[in-house]
Amino acid sequence: MIYQKGSNLFNVAIYIRLSREDGDKEESDSVGNQRKLLTEYVNKHDDFILYDVYIDDGFTGTNFNRPDFHRMIADIEDNKVNCVVVKDLSRFGRDYIDTGRYLERIFPELNVRFISVTDNIDSMKQAYDMLLPIKNIFNEQYARDISNKIQATVKSKQKAGEFIGAFTSYGYKKSPANKNKLVIDEYASEVVKRVFSMYAQGIGKQSIAKTLNAEGILCPSEYKKLNGENYKNCNRLEKTSYWTYSTIKVMLQNELYIGNMVQGKKHQRMRSKQRPVEKENWIRVENTHEPIIDRQLWGKVQKLLTKKHRDIDLETNKNIFAGFIKCGDCGRAMMKNFWRRADGSKSYSFYCGTYKRSGKDYCTPHTLPFQVLNDIVLGDLKQIIRNVENLQELVKSQSFTATKIRKSTDIELTKLKAELERVKKLKKSIYEDYKDELISKEEFLSYREDYQQKETLYSKQIETLEEKKKESVTEDVFETPWLRRLLELKDIEELDRDIIVEMIDQITVYENRKLKISYNFGNELEHLFSSVYCEDLEKKAI
């Protein structure tokens, strides 16, 4: 019904709001009580016609970004409503500035009567109440106090490693006994394990998503809905109910899967939108729940995420080096190319990415046949393994003397002591920077803590090595994980993607057919054998 201006009748909008702090029931008793009170009030007035009831259940009063409030304003602007009735001012809003703007300017301009029942406010029967702004101020202050208390409680729970959130990450569910504790979802966790395993094998994020979609596996949001959760992903593209590249990416970076609780990534102040929090200020608590992914696989995946590469061909195993090989001159990733031989078979080679894209004016080809690269990496790895085996024999025969161990230990001690001295100087310099106001107090405290941790770590390592020098040399040297792992590979005859990811840090190809291989164990075992292998490929060129 459209009301006629000048009429003695009022088309009434009952407005009801329940703040999010009061609970998350479908329609709580507070909403029911407000509806009952206001409906009875309207029915007592012969000149009132109830047009509609507008309910914002679970919305804060500190701003007016509420769906049914917007619907009510739209009806007012369409001349469908000319009277708004609320239980009290706080139900209308707790923001002093915006509440005053509606009551003092917007409603009078639109000829809208405003009634707050329990406050005895009726804009038609009385002049503007001087106490109204004061009441608004009290409402806003109350909201701010409540907000601060809630935030303090939430932060305390987060620091204790308790889960604070409406929905868990895919692969977990809330414990029936404790909603702040996570337990594994058996079905979804298997999908998570599979995603990590596929990516570690070299399958790209887009390909993983396509595979899961092809197999009919529900994406996280649809899976939650199937299990009765009223879940909505605000970052998801509209109408996408399937696995996407971004879904896989977020999953692969989620520390929750290794048992760490990471929260406090966003912060919201009154009357403002949520804002991201700097990563160093996130609240991270380790080992709060059972992990789905072991730390070794996690580390492998995080390393791969830093490398740009296309999906590898798992069937032909032709690109096991994807993401690990780069040009030694321009630093760009090497690209794979192939041609067909006379017999129809394919031959693969790597070329500098800059050369392939921009031409010889920007970089040279750095051509490296795949088979040559494969043979050299395999041969080098075998040589390193033979060095380890020889070392093991020397230890067993006691010909590997304590003097040699002390010498290698001295090298490590020299490096550690130099690093410790460097950290101490840095620690001192940041204090000078802070005094000169070159960095903020927060930055100073953050840097100081970081350098203090490093100083403690290096001091302990130095102490450990000093003790080790005093001990006799035994086969304990093979307690080093990398040595044990290399010995496990002593019968290796073929490279695969898993071995490349585990062993190789970077392969650098120079012009004049020079190759440098850097291993993941390089720094740890540098005192036992070289971690870098260079080979003149001209003799082996095809």
Task: Tell which residue, 157, 273, 248, 271, has the closest CA to residue 198.
Answer: 248
Residue pair 22/61 in contact (Cβ under 8 Å)? The answer is no
Phi first, then psi, for residue 507 (nearest 5°) are -115, 120
Tokens of 390: 């020889």
65-75 residue pLDDT tens: 899 999 999 99
515, with CB counted inside 10 A (0-12, 13-18, 19+), is: buried
Residue pair 14/42 in contact (Cβ under 8 Å)? The answer is yes
Please give the Cα distance from 452 to 239 (Å, whole number). Answer: 50
Q: How many residues does the chain have?
A: 542
Stretch among 174-183, 440-449, 465-474, 496-505 having the lowest mean pLDDT: 465-474
Please give the Cα distance from 17 to 13 (Å, whole number). Answer: 13
Confidence at residue 132, expressed as pLDDT on a 0 to 100 scale: 64
Tokens of 80: 């469908």
Residue pair 196/293 in contact (Cβ under 8 Å)? The answer is yes
Under 8 Å CB-to-CB from 370, ≥6 apart: which residues? 318, 336, 347, 348, 349, 350
Confidence at residue 232, expressed as pLDDT on a 0 to 100 scale: 52
Percent helix, strand, coil in the chain, to 5, is 45, 15, 40
| Higher per-residue pLDDT: 492 or 25 | 492
| Higher per-residue pLDDT: 250 or 318 | 250
Q: CA triplet 462, 465, 469: central angle to 5 degrees?
A: 140
Q: How far is CA 418 from each of CA 150, 245, 415, 429, rounded to the nearest angstrom?
A: 48, 45, 5, 17
Could you give the percent of the chain with pLDDT greater than 90? 22
Could you give the percent of the chain with pLDDT greater than 70? 79
Please give the Cα distance from 503 to 505 (Å, whole number). Answer: 7
Confidence at residue 535, expressed as pLDDT on a 0 to 100 scale: 40
Please give the Cα distance from 334 to 218 (Å, whole number). Answer: 37
Residue pair 232/189 in contact (Cβ under 8 Å)? The answer is no
Q: What is the mean pLDDT of residues 220-237?
A: 67
What is the Cβ-side half-sphere exposure of residue 28, based on CA atoms within 13 angstroms?
Answer: 15
**Residue 396: pLDDT band by 50, 70, 90 thresholds?**
low
58-111 residue pLDDT tens: 888 888 889 999 999 999 999 999 999 999 888 898 877 788 889 888 999 999
**Residue 47: pLDDT band by 50, 70, 90 thresholds?**
very high
Tokens of 412: 């490590």
Query: Hunting for tokens 């204790």 — which residue is that?
Result: 160
Helices (H), 323-401: 353-358, 370-396
Residue pair 391/528 in contact (Cβ under 8 Å)? The answer is yes
Tell me the sheet residues that pair with 57.
Answer: 18
Tokens of 491: 């019968």
Confidence at residue 25, expressed as pLDDT on a 0 to 100 scale: 45
pTM for the whole structure: 0.46
Q: Got the DSSP string for 490-503?
A: TT--S--HHHHHHH
Stretch among 139-148, 322-331, 445-454 having the lowest mean pLDDT: 139-148
Please give the Cα distance from 525 to 520 (Å, whole number). Answer: 10
Confidence at residue 53, expressed as pLDDT on a 0 to 100 scale: 96
Please give the Cα distance from 192 to 290 (Å, whole number). Answer: 14
Task: Tell which residue, 137, 20, 148, 135, has the closest CA to residue 86.
Answer: 135
Q: Got the DSSP string for 185-214?
A: -HHHHHHHHHHHHHHHTT--HHHHHHHHHH
Confidence at residue 235, expressed as pLDDT on a 0 to 100 scale: 45
